[in-house]
Amino acid sequence: HPKDCCQLPSLIDEDLLRNCKNLYGGEQLQRTLIHERGKCFVECALNATGTLVNGVLDQAKILHVIVTEIQNDPAVMQLFQGSTLQCMQSVATVVNEQPPATGCSRLGVDFVGCVNIRNFLNCPPHVWNNSAQCNNLKQFILQCPQPF
């Protein structure tokens, strides 16, 4: 699992995300519901933290949360900040090109997914598990087309 390779804090508090998952039917989902409910889980969590307001990501609030939560590790904080700024631009472009969807917005899940993949691929050496399995996973992901 990527979290076993790159020991970074979660962008969204796990308890908060778990509560949001319970609001939308729990984690055990049928394949056809995963995408829609996944958008709702993340949107719910971002709304609860005030980092997503009226369907708009609040960049200043996100950066404030990062500084507050990750102040004890400058390399990790810099990684999160850089990924956040890159992903804010990437997802804004993608979402603006998409026709409005019904249900929950994909903005939150696209943003969090973008930050997670960028953080994983640029994981600082001091939190990277330098094993063959992790290095192979990283190489595999690098060969995939990047969505953002």
Q: What is the pLDDT of residue 97?
A: 54
- Tell whether 29 is covered by a domain: yes
- Tell whether 104 is covered by a domain: yes
- Tell whether 61 is covered by a domain: yes
**94: pLDDT confidence band, cut at 50, 70 and 90?**
low
Instruction: Please count the structural domains in the chain.
Output: 1
Q: What is the pLDDT of residue 33?
A: 56
- Tell whether 111 is covered by a domain: yes
Q: Per mean pLDDT, which range of 33-47, 50-64, 124-138 is the poorest?
A: 33-47
- pLDDT tops 60 at residue 133: yes
Here the CATH number for the domain that contains residue 12 is 1.10.238.270
pLDDT, mean of residues 92-115: 75
pLDDT, tens only, 6-55: 999 887 888 888 888 888 766 554 545 556 677 888 899 999 999 999 88
How many CA atoms does the CB half-sphere of 137 hold within 13 Å? Answer: 17
Q: What is the pLDDT of residue 76?
A: 94
Rounded-to-integer distance, Cα 100 and Cα 123, Å: 34
For residue 72, give its domain range: 2-143
- Tell whether 118 is covered by a domain: yes
- Tell whether 132 is covered by a domain: yes
Q: Per mean pLDDT, which range of 21-25, 48-52, 68-72, 130-134 is the poorest?
A: 21-25
- Tell whether 148 is covered by a domain: no
- Tell whether 30 is covered by a domain: yes
- pLDDT tops 70 at residue 101: no
Q: What is the pLDDT of residue 32?
A: 52
